Copies of this chain bind each other. A is one copy, B any other.
Amino acid sequence: MKFIKAFYIFALLKIKVMPTISQRGANMPSSPIRKLVPFANAAKKEGKKIYHLNIGQPDIKTPQQAFDAIKNSNMEVLSYSPSEGYEWYRDKIVQYYKQVGVHIDSSEIIVTAGASEAIHFVMNSCFDAGDEIIVPEPFYANYNGFSRTGNVNVTPITASIKDGFALPPMEDFEKQITPATKAILICNPSNPTGYLYSKEELEVLKNIVLKHDLFLLVDEVYREFVYDNKTHTSVLSLEGLENHAIVFDSVSKRYSACGARIGMIISHNKEVMATALKFAQARLSPPTIGQIMGAAMVDVPQSFIHESITEYDKRRKVCIERLQKMEGVICPNPGGAFYLFVQFPVDNTENFCQWLLEDFDFNGETVMMAPGAGFYASEGLGLQEARIAYVLNSEDLNKAMDCLEEALKVYPGRLDS
């Protein structure tokens, strides 16, 4: 009897003897498409062809100059670069910015491992646990992850699909500002909505941040991808925001070089840059080879970017035209990036996206999209929406649209519109 007791106690102790993960780790959100991956893998195993509209991985060829730059570099030791990035690369970035009409100094740049690391450093440099940042939703899902990492709270301001996800009115922002509010964060043009903020909208934000003494963080990695003869306004070009504006940038989308892991923080605020540099120093160095490629890509002829834009615009038109013809589908006509945020006449896009992979095919083909709810911080929003990345060629996109059109005819969770 005693033996049995001891055994149970031992068994109980045994169970306990395993250290546990952190609360912040447990709270860390998964990627919005994570749940769908096993279904996609199963579908592929069954032999289904999947059109991947779920991730922003461009299929455009990376400029050959970038690969040539590595091939021609006679490096013998692949050493660390300075923590803020090589001086010669930062000088090239200054040159690139001059081309887009923005004047910065090389001391106002820190090169990072992708825009992701740039966001991470700025979050840590500017915010403490419990601080709040206001973000118009739907927003890039990983903003959630980066803020959770630092125990920073995201306060969403809901943008509406009816307005094409335009900037919500100033009052909506002001209602949410508390003493804990430290910043507003936008992505311009937006991932996931493709919305391009106008100069006037940026002026509205400028007034709010000046009035309430906030940082204005702008993710401008899709800066070049604007359509319909619109123009992009960088927050760095707005006067009076020198100490408030912080920009995240990256070579990933501009040059189709996502795997280079080269991003950057740009700000005129010396205190922020000095602080971010300390975080940069702790991780020693951004990727060296990515910087060699990055410098070469600044010299890529403008035609490369123009051809990319023309190609994306063609694809965008294919998707919008097809989607707007589908009954019950609401598809705004956004001015930038390479995403569409679309409302479907279905019960729930998580179910719909899973069903597309698991139970549907059209001539052996189907579509993968990112369900909308993962891009909202407000519970219960985005349930009928999904993000589409138009990163496939027009022929494939047309076939993907064929699938969606057929799927909406037979999906059991379809709602009457």
Q: A: which residues have CB within 8 A of B?
A: 16-26, 28-31, 34, 55, 57-62, 66-67, 70-71, 75-81, 113-114, 116-117, 120, 124-129, 131, 142, 145-146, 149-151, 182-183, 209-210, 213-215, 243-244, 256-261, 269, 271-272, 275-276, 278-279, 281-290, 293
Q: Which residue of B lies closest to A80 (CB)?
A: B258
Q: Which residue of B lies closest to A275 (CB)?
A: B25
Contacts of A142 in B (CB 8 A): 281-284
Contacts of A145 in B (CB 8 A): 278-279, 281-282
* Residues A213 and B21 in contact in the complex (CB < 8 Å), given A30-B281, A146-B282, A149-B282: no
Report the separation of the CA atoms of residues A24 and B78 in the bound assembly, to the nearest whole angstrom.
Answer: 32
Q: Are A259 and B81 in contact (CB under 8 A)?
A: yes
Which 10 A-B pairs give the minimum distances between C-beta atoms? A259-B288, A145-B282, A116-B283, A25-B275, A25-B125, A28-B278, A78-B259, A18-B243, A261-B287, A62-B78
The contact of A114 among B79, B244, B283, by CB within 8 Å, is B283
Least Cβ distance of A133 to chain B in Å? 11
Least Cβ distance of A164 to chain B in Å? 27
Report the separation of the CA atoms of residues A24 and B282 in the bound assembly, to the nearest whole angstrom.
Answer: 14
Q: Which residue of B lies closest to A261 (CB)?
A: B287
Report the separation of the CA atoms of residues A243 and B18 in the bound assembly, to the nearest whole angstrom.
Answer: 6
How many copies are assembled?
2
Contacts of A76 in B (CB 8 A): 61-62
* Residues A28 and B275 in contact in the complex (CB < 8 Å), given A57-B79, A76-B62: yes
Least Cβ distance of A11 to chain B in Å? 16
Report the separation of the CA atoms of residues A284 and B221 in the bound assembly, to the nearest whole angstrom.
Answer: 15
Q: Which residue of B lies closest to A215 (CB)?
A: B19
Least Cβ distance of A40 to chain B in Å? 13
Q: Which residue of B lies closest to A72 (CB)?
A: B71
* Residues A287 and B260 in contact in the complex (CB < 8 Å), given A124-B24, A215-B19, A282-B28: yes
Report the separation of the CA atoms of residues A313 and B127 in the bound assembly, to the nearest whole angstrom.
Answer: 46
* Residues A210 and B17 in contact in the complex (CB < 8 Å), given A22-B127, A282-B149: yes
Contacts of A146 in B (CB 8 A): 282
26 cross-chain CB contacts under 8 A = A17-B243, A19-B182, A19-B183, A19-B214, A19-B243, A21-B271, A22-B275, A24-B128, A24-B129, A25-B124, A34-B281, A60-B77, A61-B77, A70-B71, A79-B258, A79-B259, A80-B258, A81-B259, A113-B287, A114-B284, A114-B285, A151-B151, A259-B287, A259-B289, A260-B289, A289-B289
Q: Are B129 and A149 in contact (CB under 8 A)?
A: no
Q: Are B77 and A113 in contact (CB under 8 A)?
A: no
